[in-house]
Amino acid sequence: MNCRKGDTLLAALEGYAADTVTIKSDKAVVFYLRRTSIRLKEVTVTDTIRRPDRQLQATKREYRDIYRKGNDKDIFSIGRGGAGLSIDAIYSLLSREGKNARYLQQIIERDYRESIIDYRYSKALVSKITGLENTDLEDFMQQYRPSYYFILQANDYLLIKFIKDSYQKYLKNPGAFRLQPLKPGNK
């Protein structure tokens, strides 16, 4: 490279801030490049969503005390001495604690059913079939959410047909099943 005294040289490299040096002598030229970023190795992220049935089993293990307290099924007990009433079952049936436990069990069961729907009626599947994204996708999925019983009986073909038919209805009237926002002051 032919450089003369007074020439200005610019050094630039990806990931570093550019540096300029003015030539003052015939000696070696040194550039001081400061790193602007750190290049990382590729990272692969995968989801760790449990299947709904496994999630339900984990929840039941975590809340096993609730299932014991909310058990009102085994009121009659049969043993060596004969038949009788179970005090624990009667307490669970009549107590506030037992009622609260059964209410929590209903909530867990409802969440399980919703997770079954979400597992099959996923954003990835619906987006792939309809081409919708972001808020339009969420709006469509909320308005045309299949029922739990449909999801249980539908094979992949029926689910895809449901999505395509619902999408055609959505295109004709995008707000047909949209819920109106609540007005302030209404309870």
Whole-model pTM? Answer: 0.56
Q: Is residue 185 part of a domain?
A: no
Helix axes 87-94, 96-120, angle to 10 degrees: 80
Decide which of 102, 120, 138 is a domain's last residue.
120
Report if residue 84 sits inside a domain.
Answer: yes
Q: What angle do CA 163, 165, 166 make, to 5 degrees?
A: 65
Q: Tell me the residue type at 58.
A: A
Would you say 163 and 129 are in contact if contact means Cβ atoms under 8 Å apart? yes
Residue 40, pLDDT score: 79
Strands (E), 115-167: none
> Are both 96 and 125 inside the same structural domain?
no
| Whether residue 171 is found in the same domain as residue 126 | yes
Residue 22 included in any domain: yes
The rounded distance, in Å, linking the Cα atoms of 68 and 66 is: 5
- Whether residue 182 lies inside any domain: the answer is no
Q: Give the residue among 20, 26, 32 at the shortest CA–CA distance from 2.
A: 26
Q: pLDDT value at position 49?
A: 66
Write down the pLDDT at residue 72: 66
Whether 57 and 116 map to the same domain: the answer is yes
Residue 72: partners with Cβ closer than 8 Å, 6 or more residues away: 89, 92, 93, 98, 102
Q: Domain span at residue 155?
A: 121-176
Q: What is the pLDDT of residues 84-100, one digit of tens each?
A: 766 667 777 777 888 88
Least confident of 21-30, 39-48, 96-105: 39-48
98 and 41, same structural domain? no
Tally of domains within the chain: 3
Query: Using 50, 70 and 90 to split pLDDT, how confident is the model at 47?
Result: low
